[in-house]
Amino acid sequence: MLTILGFTMIATFLVLIMMKKMSPIAALVLIPALFCVFVGKGAHLGDYVIEGVGTLAPTAAMLMFAIVYFGVMIDVGLFDPIVRGILKFCKADPLRIVVGTALLAAIVSLDGDGSTTFMITVSAMYPLYKRLKMSLVVMTGVAATANGVMNTLPWGGPTARAATALKLDAGDIFVPMIPALAVGLVAVIALSYVLGLRERKRLGVLSLADVLEKEQQKEQQETGISETRAETETESETVLVGAGAGVSGGPGDGKVRFTKTTGGAGAGTDASDGDDAEEEQDVRLQGLDPNRPTLRPKLYWFNALLTAVLLVAMIMELLPIPVLFLLAAALALTVNFPNIPEQRERLAAHADNVLNVSGMVFAAAVFTGVLQGTGMVDSMAKWLVDGIPDGMGPHMAIVTGVLSLPLTYFMSNDGFYFGVLPVLAEAGAAHGVSPLEIARASLVGQPLHMSSPLVPAVYVLVGMAKVDFGDHTKFVVKWAALTSLVVLGAGILFGII
């Protein structure tokens, strides 16, 4: 009964968000609460939620301060050289932009943190996708899948969990998997190429000049309309604006002054030098404004060193990750923006992302708390494991790889690696399958896992990209599952699994 209710709850959640009948936050809270009552444990709902919140609170804290830290690093220009290199490669070609998205996501994923990857990737690529009217779900899908492959790094999480659960060395698990994971990364690049071709076919082969010319024409039309409206309003409007609301006069002078301008700076009609105009317009296609006031070029190497120290400390686990990000965010703010008003401005600039992600994390705590507290997740895992035919015993590594796709999607990594993986390893050991093979196979499902509704980082991705989570899910699941199967096939072919 618990098994049926568990799968029904997950299916209900996915259907409602993909059909856009409920927002992800509402679905993550209300659906598990309702099913908790169906199970007959409604009286314990509060306990389950508090336990779930307690479990995910460190993750929420880590994401909050990671968003602030890397948001500040983006503001001050730390990642501008990487972004410029990717954008120089992309130009205004949809094919190159999608491939560049995959490359950028893969490179940044080396830090082992999905939230960081998505913040930098979206900050760099979002303006290009919007300006060229490309599909944003292509961006989120490619970024999530690339990060999923790279998430298997020893400091990324899953490998460390598998090593801990089975009492193995993380290096013994990861190093032999490198060829298979490399094939998986090639598959992501190939996927981005195919999706880029599709976007190029849909939009046509674009050039920078074409895009900017259309933008300029549109802006000129809008400027003309605005000026016409302003003139009409000036003729018919009496001075109805009270003191302190001056339009172009000084504050509180009680006068209204209308200033008419022709060929404003945004219209690009008064440029005297064609090269200067092209350079100015080219800036508009860049993901990060090279002239933004938050840049701190004199502090570039300090910020680079601080980030390197942070990453090394994360890998060496010198302190809990939330504490490291808290300290790093405070130091980055203090050094780069010593004035209190500037610090408040930077915090306010990233508050939207912080609030959205934190809200999603705590809403997901209700979902995971009910799944685990009611025993649904254990019942579902037991049902799947018990359903494995005895004849598949010698092939438990392959079975583990296949099961890792749905299980890591519907469960947290902790639940899978500490709850299910030891059972699978024990079943494999009875048939002579090495725990190392089981551990390596368990990493196969990570490309799909990174788009799970239980992964907080995915809400950073869809939130910053302004993509509906249901649309992202419908698009990415098939491609991420295919990538996972490619990794599994390569592991079998190379004799790793």
pLDDT tens, position by position, 130-170: 888 899 999 999 999 999 999 888 777 788 888 888 888 88
pLDDT higher for 143 or 362?
143
How much is the average pLDDT of 205-230? 58
**Cα–Cα dist 421/376, whole Å:** 17
Three-class SS of 366-415: HHHHHHHHCCHHHHHHHHHHHCCCHHHHHHHHHHHHHHHHHHHHHCCHHH
**Cα–Cα dist 23/32, whole Å:** 14
Question: With bands split at pLDDT 50, 70 and 90, how would you rate the model's confidence at 251?
Answer: very low
b/e map 143-170, b = 16+ CB within 10 Å: bbbbbbbbbbbbbbbbbbbbbebbebeb
Contact 344, 333 (CB under 8 A): no
**Cα–Cα dist 290/186, whole Å:** 32
Residue whose C-alpha is closest to residue 465's, from 76, 126, 206: 126
| pLDDT attached to residue 233 | 43
> Rounded to two decimals, what is the model's pTM?
0.69
pLDDT higher for 29 or 18?
29
Mean pLDDT over each residue of the chain, to the nearest integer: 79
How much is the average pLDDT of 13-39? 85
Q: Is the pLDDT of residue 335 over 90?
A: yes
Q: Is the pLDDT of residue 128 over 90?
A: no
Q: Is the pLDDT of residue 314 over 80?
A: no
| pLDDT attached to residue 456 | 80
DSSP single-letter state for residue 177: G
Tens-place pLDDT, residues 266-279: 333 333 444 444 44
Q: Is the pLDDT of residue 186 over 90?
A: yes
How much is the average pLDDT of 52-80? 82
DSSP SS3 for 120 = helix
| pLDDT attached to residue 102 | 94
| pLDDT attached to residue 301 | 93
Tokens of 384: 């799947």
